[in-house]
Amino acid sequence: MTSDCLSQRLKSLGFELGFAQIGITPAVTPTGFHRLLQWIDNGHSAEMKWVERRLDAYRHPDGVMQGTRSVIMAAMNYNDGAMPAGGGRIARYAWGSADYHDVLKPRLQKLAELLRTEVPTARTRVVIDTAPLLERDFARLAGIGWFGKNTMLISRAIGSWFFLGAVLTDVELGYDKPVEQDYCGSCTRCLDACPTDAFPEPGVLDARRCISYLTIEHRREPIPLDLRNGIGGWLFGCDICQDVCPWNRFAPDDTLPEFQHLPSMNPVDCRELLTLSAEQFEIRFKDSPLSRPGRAGLLRNAAIVLGNAKDSSAEQALISALDDTETLIRGAAAWALGQIGSRKAIAAVRTHLNVESDETVLQEIDVALQSHLS
């Protein structure tokens, strides 16, 4: 079988497996590697030190699998057409009943199996955003899309609501042409819509100000005070820069059942979330992306969402959270009560001042009381 025929068979199988686009590119050092170096040098990677620790591996796919000659990139749509609502918002990719790693991996393995069937000596490795591979760069090289000003990969056919997965192989295949043109033109909607000004310039994301980073990866520390109001109703992740992108008007809405939104995820009741014990949190979110921030991180986010909403119906849940075992949750609850600013909320914060011993929480209490006075 010729390399071009094998590539076509891989693409046909990929479409049968539910992928919206398949592209194949040779293994090279992507131009994005140099942008990655600059991004880290500028401090835009925040606390994601694992990127820096594995930096040299990002230079070439050989850093993931020695001898890689081809990279098969597969895009899977996760948009089901549902409309977001209310506070306690979850990024669209996590609305479903399954973690995307668990959905994509067996399908990508079937592509790898086909390769090994046709070329018995073939070596393969499946990658889904955990190995040091610049997936978006290789997806561009494989003809799937271009980089938008919001740094997302955008496809003319399916917008940007899609997951990426890769199969690395030492087999030489037939390759697709890269996307060289930028189809964003003069549009800056994504940059203008970001409430925390996370884009210092088009095509550059400062993770330190990104709502997705703050609510997911920045999970052990309080969220900076000057960014909390910008988080608005986002509990986990953020879709703002994709929601406003004109190309997503063309996004298909025929995603797999595993990615179709659950009513409990659109939106989440933050008041109820604050009542979950560690055991209840584990049971509810053990198979969900929402487990990534951990209980302390996610409940901290819930308190901030409630504080931004200034909803007096959340008072009792926040007052109860002042006694949580996690300092991160207690501090966020105190801040949120200060944002609500009712007599009951402020009285509860003042009362807790007499029993709190953690310095970080005491600082949050001080901010809450000062906020009330101003």
Which residues are annotated as catalytic? 129
HSE-CB at 241 with a 13 A cutoff on CA atoms is: 29
Q: Under a CB-based contact definition with an 8 Å cutoff, are residues 80 and 255 in contact?
A: yes
Residues ≥6 apart with Cβ < 8 Å to 311: 340
- Rounded CA-CA distance 214/236 in Å is 9
**Residue 57: how many other CB atoms lie within 10 Å:** 14
DSSP 216: I
| SS3 call for 224 | coil
Give backbone dihedrals phi and psi of 60, rounded to 5 degrees, phi first: -160, 150
Q: Which two tokens stand for residue 200?
A: 């210092």
Report how far apart, in Å, the C-alpha atoms of 307 and of each of 44, 52, 230, 266, 353 are. Answer: 28, 35, 12, 19, 19
Report how far apart, in Å, the C-alpha atoms of 214 and of each of 101, 178, 217, 293, 346 are. Answer: 22, 33, 6, 10, 27
- Rounded CA-CA distance 323/262 in Å is 31
Q: Which two tokens stand for residue 336?
A: 């949120």
Residue 341: Cβ-neighbour burial (10 angstroms; 0-12, 13-18, 19+):
middle
